[in-house]
Amino acid sequence: MGTPARILLAEDQASVAAPVVSRLTEAGHEVRWVREMRELRRQMVEFSPDLLLLDTTLDTDGLEYFQAVRFAPEHPPAGVIILTPPGDRRTKERAQQLGAAAVVTKPVDGDNLVAVVGDLLSMI
């Protein structure tokens, strides 16, 4: 693994978030987890993450937030990974059109996620 990164996870389901936080922490990253859009906005400024993992079904439309933040100063340098429900092809296509760095389907495969994160971080 390269340099540890600050990763912000925005996910409302503990059953999804807990293993993601655990696996990324094991990989040496500093991970913060938020469940609500209000907290996400605050942590984007305070934590200044290198990478954002964003659930599309937070308490509001995660893709709308992504669309708003992608050109903002607080946009993470390694980009945004969008987390989508299984079989949601439309959301995946929309995320890619909006410029997501990657799209990962839930349930999240921890090893695959660590590899994707490593690839994105190597580009900054």
Of 23, 118, 111, nearest to 102 (Cα)?
118
State how far the alpha carbon of 50 is from the alpha carbons of 14, 15, 85, 107, 124, in Å.
Answer: 22, 24, 24, 23, 9
Token code pair at residue 54? 């964003």
End-to-end CA distance of the chain: 14
Kindly tell me if the per-residue pLDDT of 1 is higher than 80. Answer: no
Q: What is the average pLDDT across 17-28?
A: 98
Q: Which residues have CB under 8 Å from 18's CB, separation 6+?
A: none
Kindly tell me if the per-residue pLDDT of 51 is higher than 90. Answer: yes
**pLDDT score, position 67:** 72
Q: What one-letter code names the amino acid at 13?
A: Q
**pLDDT score, position 2:** 64
Kindly tell me if the per-residue pLDDT of 60 is higher than 90. Answer: no
- Compute the distance between CA of residue 14 and CA of residue 12 in angstroms, rounded to an integer: 7
Query: 6-121 in CATH: which number?
Result: 3.40.50.2300
pLDDT tens digits, 77-92:
888 999 998 998 998 9
Average pLDDT, the chain: 90
- Compute the distance between CA of residue 95 and CA of residue 102 in angstroms, rounded to an integer: 8
**pLDDT score, position 96:** 92
Q: What is the average pLDDT across 43-49?
A: 93
**pLDDT score, position 124:** 82
Kindly tell me if the per-residue pLDDT of 49 is higher than 80. Answer: yes
Q: Are strands 6-10 and 51-55 parallel, antiparallel or unpaired?
A: parallel
- Compute the distance between CA of residue 89 and CA of residue 69 in angstroms, rounded to an integer: 23
Q: What is the average pLDDT across 48-56?
A: 93
- Compute the distance between CA of residue 57 and CA of residue 3 in angstroms, rounded to an integer: 30
